[in-house]
Amino acid sequence: MPREYQTTKGNISTVLEGFRLNEKEQGFEIYVEKCWNYPALCELYEMAAEKIRSNHIPAIVHVEDCTQQLGHSTSGSHERYKSPERLAWEREYDCNKVMARWIVDAGLATVTEVEELEKKATVYVKECRDRAWRAYNDPIKLQKEALVGIYAQILSEDPTNEHIHSLQKEIGSLMNPHYSELVKNGRQLLFQLKKRTGTGAKALEAWLDKARNIAHKRYHSHLYSSSKYAALNVPVIPPTYSESSPIKNGFEVLNYFFDLALEKHQELFAFGEDVGKIGGVNQGFMGMQDKYGETRVFDTGIREWTIMGQAIGMAMRGLRPIAEIQYLDYLIYGLAPLSDDLATLRYRSNGMQQAPAIIRTRGHRLEGIWHSGSPIGMIINSLRGMYVLTPRNFVQAAGMYNTMLHSDDPALIIECLNGYRLKEKMPDNIGEYTVPLGVPEVMSTGTDVTLVTYGSNIRIALEGMKLLEPTGISVELIDVQTLLPFDLEHIIVESLKKTNRIVFMDEDLPGGATGFMMREVLEVQGGYRHLDSPPVTLTAKAHRPPYGSDGDYFSKPSPEDVYETIFKLMDEAEPGRF
């Protein structure tokens, strides 16, 4: 892409000139150098790095006149959009040619020696290429030989099957197959064998089992931590209470916990919009900057993307950041680095890298189109590789933060936006207790219907259940607590076995997180076997809530919606009982 299309004024350092470091040491250094000027680049990088280390002032190095030897893909060759003059210049200023000229001009080698070095490098690169190809292809050859042998066994037992002969011929035609092509063929062969139990069929099943194990190890492992510090391995310490346990506002519970955590974990940092000086819009970090300093609890600009970038970088270097997105709606502006970088880091590095960042935000119910969203379906489908925790109150939230601070997994914790000034009893062992991930809590036992929800919806559900009490309908309310991971102990399906009816409720759009929960319970946990009535979802409307209390009431589930939904379900199941 021509830089005139990519950058204002066609020059990034010119555009950034207003950010250049001034006499008050505000801004950052800007350096410009040519890509082909190797000695100058070496001197510049050395000087810039030393300055950054001593002054802690960032720098931008703008490297110009870069050449491009190849296109970004076989279908995107740069020769298609560059002029003949530009291509001729790039051939002349090819980095290898310029480097060779500099070596000769600097007296480091003669022309003959450089040419000989180039020949040796060409031979060496080809040897590396061939070695890499053998390392990749030789194991596949062995797998192909094994599959060919299995065909021989099977055809000795069933020599006239035309379909098997056709599949065997297909294998023979593959000169350098991908491993997946062999597995695809083997699976189709198994389809032809159906319920046969001969030695060939057993050998094929064993070969395919091995292929699945190989695929799992190569392609499906390390999405989450499997170390001894994994979040799922953090010891469960329940909260303890006494007669003297204080009653606090929700934000005070969290504030007390963050104070203890900052004192205990010197590597812990907290930052985000308004987090520092005023302690957050809901006062979770009130007084923490004064106590622990601006370097540990600090404010950022309104730039969610870079807040997430800071969190990822700090976590990769061994620090423990709690990075705040002020409202759940604004997570969209920081979703790309979370989805592309943080959630995939351990997976794409084969478990070699980790960034246990904690992303803090608040959401669910409030009033206003940009402060009341609950795009949970989008989040859980974008952030596999992170845990998504949805505490119903701030005692639970403090326990979840503590669990994550003792783990090496990253997580998103979504606090209840409308719960900061609700009263809660603070545990005596705050700062010590933990909340296990993937373990729902049964809030109220019942026998007629199971109601599954999380977060602020728990309070709505409880109010709706109170309205249902005169009808005699018995509701079992379950707080999911964490969406990723989801109900690892299959607590919900055990409830469904008892009630045989289920309602999934949340504030996401129709088909969002309720669809996710339904699949987990009915398909993954096999809950469909225990249904006596169709499963039901209770969600927000298919739009963001309009401004004001009326917009909130008519757009998101209310206690009356809970009543009507459950009463309708039970009345259809048992007409006349209610």
CA atoms of 330 and 301, how far apart (whole Å): 13
- pLDDT surpassing 90 at residue 68: no
Instruction: Identify the pLDDT of residue 368.
Output: 74
CA atoms of 506 and 456, how far apart (whole Å): 9
Instruction: Identify the pLDDT of residue 366.
Output: 62
CA atoms of 376 and 410, how far apart (whole Å): 17
CA atoms of 485 and 197, how far apart (whole Å): 39
- pLDDT surpassing 80 at residue 74: no
Give 26's pLDDT tier (boundaries 50, 70, 90). Answer: very high
- pLDDT surpassing 70 at residue 430: yes
Amino acid letter, residue 21 = L
Q: Do 314 and 259 fall within a single domain?
A: yes
Q: Do 88 and 165 fall within a single domain?
A: no
568 occurs within a structural domain: yes
CA atoms of 331 and 379, how far apart (whole Å): 9
- pLDDT surpassing 70 at residue 460: yes
Q: Please name the helix (run of DSSP H) or strand (run of DSSP E) that holds residue 425, with its range, or none.
A: strand 423-425
38 occurs within a structural domain: yes
Provide the residue range defining the domain that includes 560. 443-573
Token output for 363: 């959401």
Q: Do 172 and 280 fall within a single domain?
A: no
3-state secondary structure of 479: strand
Instruction: Identify the pLDDT of residue 503.
Output: 98
CA atoms of 314 and 363, how far apart (whole Å): 25
How many domains in the chain?
4
536 occurs within a structural domain: yes
**499: buried, middle or exposed (CB in 10 Å: 19+, 13-18, 0-12)?**
buried
Query: Among 425, 458, 479, which residue terminates a domain?
Result: 425
- Tallying the residues shown for the chain, one arrives at 578
Instruction: Identify the pLDDT of residue 195.
Output: 79
203 occurs within a structural domain: yes
Whose structure tokens read 């020599």? 159
Token output for 125: 């690169």
Q: Do 467 and 568 fall within a single domain?
A: yes
234 occurs within a structural domain: no
pLDDT in tens, 210-227: 999 999 999 999 999 999
Instruction: Identify the pLDDT of residue 75.
Output: 74
Q: Please name the helix (run of DSSP H) or strand (run of DSSP E) that holds residue 255, with its range, or none.
A: helix 250-264
Amino acid letter, residue 127 = E
Instruction: Identify the pLDDT of residue 3.
Output: 79
Give 549's pLDDT tier (boundaries 50, 70, 90). Answer: confident
Give 365's pLDDT tier (boundaries 50, 70, 90). Answer: low
Q: How far apart, in Å, are the Cα atoms of 45 and each of 35, 64, 105, 456?
A: 12, 14, 22, 52
What sign does the dihedral 270-275-276-279 (CA atoms) show? Answer: negative
User: Which range (4-8, 39-43, 300-304, 501-505) has the least confidence?
Assistant: 4-8
3-state secondary structure of 501: coil
Q: CATH number of the domain that 507 lies in?
A: 3.40.50.920
Token output for 282: 């809901």
Is residue 30 within 8 A of residue 63, CB to CB? The reply is no
Instruction: Identify the pLDDT of residue 576.
Output: 85
Give 373's pLDDT tier (boundaries 50, 70, 90). Answer: confident
121 occurs within a structural domain: no
Cβ contacts of 187 within 8 Å, gap of 6 or more: 208
Whose structure tokens read 């192909």? 144
- pLDDT surpassing 70 at residue 519: yes
Q: Do 501 and 527 fall within a single domain?
A: yes
Question: What single string gives the DSSP state of each residue in 522-567?
Answer: IIIS-GGGG-SS--EEE---SSPPPSSHHHHHHHS--HHHHHHHHH
Q: What is the mean pLDDT of residues 497-506?
A: 98
Q: Do 265 and 185 fall within a single domain?
A: no
pLDDT in tens, 374-424: 899 999 999 999 999 999 999 999 999 999 999 999 999 999 999 999 999
CA atoms of 259 and 424, how far apart (whole Å): 18
97 occurs within a structural domain: yes
Query: Among 425, 459, 480, which residue terminates a domain?
Result: 425
Instruction: Identify the pLDDT of residue 547.
Output: 81
| High-pLDDT (> 90) share of the chain, % | 87
Mean pLDDT of the chain: 95
Q: Do 265 and 391 fall within a single domain?
A: yes
Q: What is the mean pLDDT of residues 106-128?
A: 96
pLDDT in tens, 176-189: 999 999 999 999 99
Q: Do 139 and 86 fall within a single domain?
A: no
Nearest to 495 by CA among 474, 466, 473: 474
Q: Do 278 and 414 fall within a single domain?
A: yes
- Omega before 485 cis (within 30°)? yes
Is residue 483 within 8 A of residue 376, CB to CB? The reply is yes
Q: Do 315 and 211 fall within a single domain?
A: no
- pLDDT surpassing 90 at residue 255: yes
Helix axes 111-157, 162-173, angle to 10 degrees: 170
347 occurs within a structural domain: yes
Pairing of strands 482-484, 387-389: antiparallel
Give 197's pLDDT tier (boundaries 50, 70, 90). Answer: confident
Q: Do 203 and 334 fall within a single domain?
A: no
pLDDT in tens, 534-548: 999 999 999 988 888
- pLDDT surpassing 90 at residue 118: yes
Nearest to 146 by CA among 215, 204, 198: 204
Q: Do 56 and 97 fall within a single domain?
A: yes
